[in-house]
Amino acid sequence: MDTLTTLNEIADSEAQPNKFRRKKSIVWEHFTIERIGADCTRACCKKCKKSFAYISGSKLAGTSHLKRHIALGICPVGRTNQDKNQLTSFNSAAPTNGSAEATGKSRKRYRANPGPTNIPFDQARCYYDIAKMIIQHDYPLEMVEHSGFNKFVQNLQPLFSSVSVDTIQEHIFNIYLGEKQNLLNIIGAIPGRVSLTLNLRTSDQNLGYVFLTGYFVDSDWKLRCRLLNVIMVPFPDSDVAFNHAVAACLTDWCLETKLFTLTLDQSVANVNVRKNLGHLLSIKGGNILNGQLIIGSCCARVLSDLAQYALHYMRAIVEKVRQSVKFVKTADAHEEKFLELKRQLQVPSAKELIVDDQTKWDTTYQMLMTASELKEVFSCLDTSDPDYKVTPTMDEWKQAEILCEYLKLFFDAANLLTSPTYSTADVLFHEVWKIQLDLMQAARSQDRFIRDLTRPLQEKFEEYWNDCNLVLAVAVVMDPRFKMKLIEFTFNKIYGEEAESWIKIVDEGVHEIFCDYIVQSLPPPPASFVDEANDSFVIKSEFSQEDSFLANGDTFADFDVYLHDIMNNQQMKTELDQYLEESLMPRSQDFDVLGWWRINRCKYPTLSKMASDILSIPVCTVTPDSVFDTTLRDLDRHRSSLRPITIEALSCSKDWLQYESWELPYGTPDATVKMEY
DSSP string, 420-458: SSPPPHHHHHHHHHHHHHHHHHHHT-S-HHHHHHHHHHH
For residues 536 and 519, give the distance between their C-alpha atoms in angstroms, rounded to a whole number.
Answer: 23
For residues 172 and 653, give the distance between their C-alpha atoms in angstroms, rounded to a whole number.
Answer: 8
Any idea how long the chain is? 677
C-alpha separations of 129 from 93, 125, 181, 300, 333 in Å? 41, 6, 20, 35, 49
pLDDT the model gives residue 362: 96
DSSP string, 30-49: TEEEEEEETTEEEEEETTT-
| pLDDT tens track for 421-461 | 778 889 999 999 999 999 999 999 999 999 999 999 999 99
CA dihedral 71, 77, 78, 80 (to 10 degrees): 110
Looking at 84-98, 113-127, 146-160, 198-212, which range is the least confident one? Answer: 84-98
CA dihedral 137, 141, 147, 152 (to 10 degrees): 30
| Selected residue with higher pLDDT from 60 and 288 | 60
Max mean pLDDT among 275-279, 294-298, 336-340 falls in 336-340
Q: How many CA atoms lie within 13 A of 434 on its CB side?
A: 14
pLDDT the model gives residue 33: 82
Q: Which of 396, 383, 413, 384 is nearest to 322 (CA)?
A: 396
For residues 677 and 169, give the distance between their C-alpha atoms in angstroms, rounded to a whole number.
Answer: 9
pLDDT the model gives residue 359: 94
The average pLDDT across 594-615 equals 95
Residues paired with 224 in a beta bridge? 216
Does 546 have pLDDT greater than 70?
A: no
For residues 674 and 123, give the distance between their C-alpha atoms in angstroms, rounded to a whole number.
Answer: 19
Helix (H) or strand (E) holding 639: helix 637-640
For residues 423 and 472, give the distance between their C-alpha atoms in angstroms, rounded to a whole number.
Answer: 12
pLDDT the model gives residue 4: 44
pLDDT the model gives residue 63: 78
CA dihedral 65, 67, 68, 74 (to 10 degrees): 110
Cβ-contact 507, 484 below 8 angstroms: yes
For residues 455 and 315, give the distance between their C-alpha atoms in angstroms, rounded to a whole number.
Answer: 17
Residue type, 248: A
Does 306 have pLDDT greater than 70?
A: yes
Confidence of residue 585 (pLDDT cuts 50, 70, 90): very high
The average pLDDT across 280-287 equals 63
The average pLDDT across 578-583 equals 94
pLDDT the model gives residue 555: 57
For residues 173 and 167, give the distance between their C-alpha atoms in angstroms, rounded to a whole number.
Answer: 10
CB atoms under 10 Å from CB of 559, counted, come to: 10
Strands, sheet with 208-217, edge to edge from the N-terminal-most edge strand: 223-233, 208-217, 194-202, 259-264, 294-295
| pLDDT tens track for 378-401 | 998 888 888 888 889 999 999 999
Helix (H) or strand (E) holding 464: helix 448-477
Looking at 231-245, 354-368, 461-475, 486-500, which range is the least confident one? Answer: 231-245
| pLDDT tens track for 497-540 | 999 999 999 999 999 999 988 888 777 666 554 455 445 444 34
Rg of the chain on CA atoms, in Å: 37
CB atoms under 10 Å from CB of 3, counted, come to: 11
Does 296 have pLDDT greater than 70?
A: yes
Q: Which of 641, 662, 663 is nearest to 205 (CA)?
A: 641
Q: Which residues contact 98 (CB under 8 A, 6 or more apart)?
A: none
Does 420 have pLDDT greater than 80?
A: no
Cβ-contact 315, 298 below 8 angstroms: no
Does 640 have pLDDT greater than 70?
A: yes
pLDDT the model gives residue 526: 62
Q: Which of 662, 642, 655 is nearest to 168 (CA)?
A: 642
| Selected residue with higher pLDDT from 223 and 386 | 223
pLDDT the model gives residue 476: 96
For residues 490 and 286, give the distance between their C-alpha atoms in angstroms, rounded to a whole number.
Answer: 30
Question: DSSP assignment, residue 583?
Answer: P
Confidence of residue 121 (pLDDT cuts 50, 70, 90): confident
For residues 231 and 615, give the distance between their C-alpha atoms in angstroms, rounded to a whole number.
Answer: 27
Percent of the chain with pLDDT over 70: 77
Handedness of CA 533, 535, 536, 540 (dihedral sign): positive
The CA-CA-CA angle for residues 572, 573, 578, to 5°, reads 165
* Burial label, 148 (beta-carbon count in 10 A; 0-12, 13-18, 19+): exposed
* Burial label, 71 (beta-carbon count in 10 A; 0-12, 13-18, 19+): buried
pLDDT the model gives residue 595: 94
Q: Which residues contact 634 (CB under 8 A, 6 or more apart)?
A: 201, 202, 203, 204
| pLDDT tens track for 105-118 | 444 444 444 445 56
Residue type, 381: L
Percent of the chain with pLDDT over 90: 50
CA dihedral 314, 320, 326, 329 (to 10 degrees): -100
| pLDDT tens track for 123-175 | 999 999 999 999 999 999 999 999 999 999 999 888 899 999 999 999 999 99
pLDDT the model gives residue 273: 81
For residues 171 and 177, give the distance between their C-alpha atoms in angstroms, rounded to a whole number.
Answer: 10
Q: Give the domain ranges of the chain.
A: 26-72, 123-281+636-664, 299-513
| pLDDT tens track for 352-382 | 999 999 999 999 999 999 999 999 999 988 8
Helix (H) or strand (E) holding 189: helix 165-189
pLDDT the model gives residue 73: 60
The answer for 113, left when phi > 0, alpha when psi is -120 to 50, beta otherwise, is beta
Looking at 536-545, 571-580, 659-668, which range is the least confident one? Answer: 536-545
Q: What b-and-e string marks burial along 44-55, b requiring 16 or more CB atoms within 10 Å of the CB?
A: ebebeeeeeebb
Does 199 have pLDDT greater than 70?
A: yes
Q: Which residues contact 556 (CB under 8 A, 6 or more apart)?
A: none
Phi, psi at 226, each rounded to 5°: -140, 135
Does 85 have pLDDT greater than 50?
A: no
Confidence of residue 541 (pLDDT cuts 50, 70, 90): very low
C-alpha separations of 571 from 208, 237, 382, 568, 645 in Å? 53, 53, 79, 5, 54
pLDDT the model gives residue 286: 52
Residue type, 320: K
In the chain, what is the greatest distance between 2 CA atoms, to the nearest angstrom? 139
Mean pLDDT of the chain: 81
The average pLDDT across 190-205 equals 90
Does 553 have pLDDT greater than 70?
A: no
pLDDT the model gives residue 78: 55
For residues 272 and 275, give the distance between their C-alpha atoms in angstroms, rounded to a whole number.
Answer: 5
Contacts 24+ apart (CB under 8 A), 542-550: none
Three-state secondary-structure class, residue 18? strand
Does 403 have pLDDT greater than 60?
A: yes
Confidence of residue 550 (pLDDT cuts 50, 70, 90): very low
| Selected residue with higher pLDDT from 10 and 626 | 626
